[in-house]
Chains A and B, each alone.
Chain A
Amino acid sequence: MKVLIVGAGLAGLRTAESLRGAGFAGEITIVGEEPHFPYNRPPLSKDALANGLTIADLEFKRRESIADVKWIFNDSALSTNYAERSVLLESGRLESFDLLVAATGIRPRELNVPGAEKSKFSLRNFTEAQELRASMLGAQKLVIVGAGFIGCEIAATARKLGINVAVVAADPEPMFRPLGAEFGRAMRERHEAKGVKFHMNAKITGYLGGDKATGVALDTGEEVNGDLVIEAIGSLPNTEWLAGGGLDLHDGVLVDSSMRATPADEVSVYAVGDVARYSFDLFDSTPRRIEHWNLPTETGRRAGKSITHFLNTGEVLAEPVNFVPSFWSDQYEDNVQSFGIPGIADSINVVDGELAGDCVVEYLRDGKVVGVVGVNTSAKLAPYRKNFQESN
Chain B
Amino acid sequence: MKVHVDMEKCQHYGQCVFEADDVFSLGDDGKLVYKADVDDSRRSDVESAVDVCPMQAITVE
Please give the residue numbers on chain A whose beta carbons come within 8 Å of chain B beta carbons, in ascending order: 14, 40, 42, 60-61, 63, 293-294, 297, 326, 328, 330, 335, 337, 376-379, 381-382, 385
A385 to B27, CA, bound (A): 17
A378 to B32, CA, bound (A): 10
Given A378-B26, A378-B30, the answer on whether A61 and B15 have CB atoms closer than 8 Å is: no
Instruction: Classify chain B: how many residues form its interface, as a range.
Output: 10 to 19
- B27 contact set on A, CB distance < 8 A: 379
A14 to B48, CA, bound (A): 11
- B11 contact set on A, CB distance < 8 A: 328, 330, 335
**B56–A382 CB distance below 8 A:** no
**B54–A42 CB distance below 8 A:** yes
- B14 contact set on A, CB distance < 8 A: 378-379, 381-382
For the residues of A in contact with B, the DSSP-based class is: mixed
A40 to B15, CA, bound (A): 15
**A326–B50 CB distance below 8 A:** no
A14 to B18, CA, bound (A): 18
What is the 8 Å Cβ interface bit string for chain B, positions 47-58, against chain A (1 contact, 0 not)?
A: 100111010100
A330 to B13, CA, bound (A): 11
A379 to B27, CA, bound (A): 7
A335 to B14, CA, bound (A): 12
User: Residue on A with the closest CB to B51?
Assistant: A297
**B54–A382 CB distance below 8 A:** no
A335 to B30, CA, bound (A): 12
**B54–A61 CB distance below 8 A:** no
Does B23 belong to the interface (CB within 8 Å)?
A: no
- A330 contact set on B, CB distance < 8 A: 11
